Amino acid sequence: MDYFRFTEHNDNEGETWHFFIPVKDNKETIKNLKTFLEGLSENEYEISDKLLEYTEVEVLCKNTDSGYMDFNNQLFGKLILPKLEMHKNGYIEDDPLYKGGIQNFMEK
């Protein structure tokens, strides 16, 4: 199984977190999210073009460092995002993705 890497660069915590989302059942949602994120004025979030294999994700998550939260996080299931709205200044209005919020939108 392959995974997308969704990355959050959190300046408030001074940390970067990676969330590995299964490709299965999530291709269209990730494509739409990536397009949305590219329109933001800051690069707080990104989705890598390179897919990672299950074994790579397992090793990264098993051996992760931790701060505010684990730096590498394996997610499971289908990503069901709420409607994301961009503020006129180029940031996400009431950002539900902030501080690992993407984890809250995975349905098993």
**What is the CA 77 to chain-centroid distance, rounded?**
14
Distance (Å, rounded) from C-alpha 50 to C-alpha 38?
Answer: 16
Going by C-alpha positions, the residue among 45, 101, 60, 107 that lies closest to residue 79 is: 107
- pTM recorded for the entire structure: 0.92
Distance (Å, rounded) from C-alpha 50 to C-alpha 57?
Answer: 13
- Give the tens place of pLDDT for each residue, 6-65: 999 999 899 999 999 999 999 999 999 999 998 887 889 999 999 999 999 999 999 999
Contact 80, 101 (CB under 8 A): no
Contact 81, 105 (CB under 8 A): yes
Residue 89: pLDDT band by 50, 70, 90 thresholds? confident
Contact 67, 15 (CB under 8 A): yes
- Identify the pLDDT of residue 94: 82
- Identify the pLDDT of residue 54: 97
Residue 91: pLDDT band by 50, 70, 90 thresholds? confident
Distance (Å, rounded) from C-alpha 25 to C-alpha 78?
Answer: 6
Alpha helix (H) ranges present in 3-102? 27-38, 54-62
